[in-house]
């Protein structure tokens, strides 16, 4: 749109050149632009818009914000700076030195004119020095002597004051020394009194402790009179005091003796068990033998009886075998092994077996 012409103010008048003269705009003769100029401006505006759209399309854009949010431009530079529409303005002043005051105008002294005039006075024309000086000297000497007397009197008074002060200081020092002596004496008396009281209290405390110790010792002796025998009896009954020989017999000899006795009894029981089994085996075999032997052998057997001389050694040997079951077992194992396959035995072996069985039964 064309800006309206404001003729009331020269600042808005295009005919007034402001600034550089190189920016002088040439005003056309007619106010209406030509058609080709309007067409050129439109094309230029279209090209600018197309260039702007292409540039916007080429730039990477962030996705659209979600509902309820909006995108805000954020500075991503290394150093942040405040963004403000108003340019920051700072006022700076510079003050020069003040003007120096003009020095005061010196006093005007006119130049001396004419000649100097002097008057000659001879000696004795105005006054006599010896006569005129005498009262002055008398006054000065009187004042000097009077001042000297005053100073001497003042010195004597000061000396007397100093003497009085020294005497007073000596008296005061003596009184202070006496007071200190009395205070020290009172302090010594008080300390001695406290020390004597402390010693007496300590003596009473020690006497009380000694009495209590004596009473406690007597009570302890009376109370613990039967303690040591009872303790030793309890310890002896508990087994803490023992005879080493008796303990050795109880712990070493008796277990060994019992073990040996048990082993001996076990061997005897084993021998008797083996002997019983042998007797049972021999009786069974003899029963089988008697049941299977022919009648001729049965009729001949009673005719021959064992001689007493022959049976006695067997009985003695079998009694010895009873005391030694292991040896008898070894001896009896052999006949049993021989008798198992044979059903018919000799008459002499049968008599010896019968004699052995009778001996065992008598035992």
pLDDT digits (tens, 9 = 90+) for 173-203: 999 999 999 999 999 999 999 999 999 999 9
pLDDT 10s digits, 222-271: 888 888 888 888 888 887 777 788 888 888 888 999 999 999 999 999 99
CB-based contact 331:321 (threshold 8 Å): yes
CB-based contact 353:295 (threshold 8 Å): no
Assess if residue 277 is contained within a domain.
yes
- What pLDDT, on the 0 to 100 scale, is given for residue 69? 86
Quote the strand ranges of the chain, DSSP E: none
Question: In whole angstroms, what separates CA 348 from the centre of its chain?
Answer: 104
Assess if residue 352 is contained within a domain.
no
When pLDDT is averaged across residues 91-108 and rounded to a whole number, the result is 79
pLDDT 10s digits, 30-52: 556 678 888 888 999 999 999 98
- Mean of the per-residue pLDDT values of the chain: 76
Domain hosting residue 271, numbered range = 249-288
Instruction: Tell me the C-alpha distance between 54 and 46, whole Å.
Output: 12
Assess if residue 256 is contained within a domain.
yes
Percent of the chain with pLDDT over 70: 71
- What pLDDT, on the 0 to 100 scale, is given for residue 131? 87
Confidence grade of residue 29 (pLDDT, cut at 50, 70, 90): low
Assess if residue 273 is contained within a domain.
yes
Assess if residue 222 is contained within a domain.
no
Q: How far is CA 273 from CA 54, 147, 279, 280, 356, in A?
A: 128, 165, 10, 11, 16
Q: Structurally, how many domains does the chain consist of?
A: 1
Q: Minimum mean pLDDT among 46-50, 110-114, 170-174: which range?
A: 110-114
CB-based contact 359:318 (threshold 8 Å): yes
DSSP 19: S
Assess if residue 278 is contained within a domain.
yes
Confidence grade of residue 23 (pLDDT, cut at 50, 70, 90): low
pLDDT 10s digits, 118-160: 777 777 777 788 888 899 999 999 999 999 999 999 999 999 9
- What pLDDT, on the 0 to 100 scale, is given for residue 32? 66
Assess if residue 198 is contained within a domain.
no
Instruction: Tell me the C-alpha distance between 148 and 253, whole Å.
Output: 138
Q: Minimum mean pLDDT among 80-89, 187-196, 302-311: which range?
A: 302-311
When pLDDT is averaged across residues 208-223 and rounded to a whole number, the result is 90
Instruction: Tell me the C-alpha distance between 39 and 46, whole Å.
Output: 11
pLDDT 10s digits, 52-68: 888 888 777 777 888 88
- Number of neighbours of residue 278 by Cβ within 10 angstroms: 21
Assess if residue 69 is contained within a domain.
no
- SS3 of residue 137 by DSSP: helix
Question: How many CA atoms does the CB half-sphere of 178 hold within 13 Å?
Answer: 6
Containing H/E element for 333? helix 325-339
- What pLDDT, on the 0 to 100 scale, is given for residue 330? 42
């Amino acid at each position: 749109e064309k800006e309206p012409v404001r003729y009331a103010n020269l600042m808005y008048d295009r005919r007034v050149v402001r600034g550089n003269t190189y920016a002088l705009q040439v005003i056309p003769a007619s106010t209406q632009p030509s058609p080709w100029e309007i067409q050129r401006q439109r094309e230029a505006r279209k090209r600018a818009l197309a260039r702007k759209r292409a540039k916007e399309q080429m730039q990477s854009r962030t996705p659209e914000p979600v509902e309820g949010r909006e995108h805000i431009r954020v500075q991503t530079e290394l150093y942040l700076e405040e963004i403000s529409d108003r340019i920051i303005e700072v006022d700076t002043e510079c003050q020069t030195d003040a003007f120096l005051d003009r020095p005061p105008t010196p006093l005007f002294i006119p130049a001396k004119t004419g000649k100097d005039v002097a008057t000659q006075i001879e000696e004795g024309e105005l006054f006599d020095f010896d006569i005129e000086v005498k009262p002055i000297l008398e006054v000065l000497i009187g004042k000097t002597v009077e001042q000297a007397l005053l100073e001497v009197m003042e010195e004597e008074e000061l000396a007397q004051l100093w003497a009085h002060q020294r005497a007073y200081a000596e008296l005061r020092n003596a009184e202070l020394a006496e007071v200190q002596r009395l205070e020290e004496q009172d302090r010594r008396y008080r300390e001695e009194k406290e020390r004597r009281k402390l010693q007496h209290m300590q003596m009473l405390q020690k006497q009380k402790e000694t009495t209590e110790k004596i009473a406690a010792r007597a009570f302890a002796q009376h109370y613990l009179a039967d303690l040591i025998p009872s303790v030793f009896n309890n310890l002896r009954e508990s087994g803490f005091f023992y005879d080493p020989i008796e303990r050795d017999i109880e712990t070493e000899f008796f277990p060994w003796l019992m073990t040996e006795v048990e082993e001996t009894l076990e061997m005897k029981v084993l021998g008797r068990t083996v002997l019983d089994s042998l007797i049972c085996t021999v009786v069974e075999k003899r029963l089988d033998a008697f049941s299977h032997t022919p009648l001729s052998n049965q009729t001949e057997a009673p005719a021959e009886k064992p001689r007493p001389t022959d049976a006695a050694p067997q009985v003695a040997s079998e009694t010895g075998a009873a005391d030694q079951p292991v040896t008898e077992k070894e001896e009896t194992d052999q006949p049993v092994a021989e008798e198992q396959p044979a059903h018919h035995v000799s008459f002499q072996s049968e008599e010896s077996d019968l004699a052995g069985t009778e001996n065992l039964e008598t035992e």
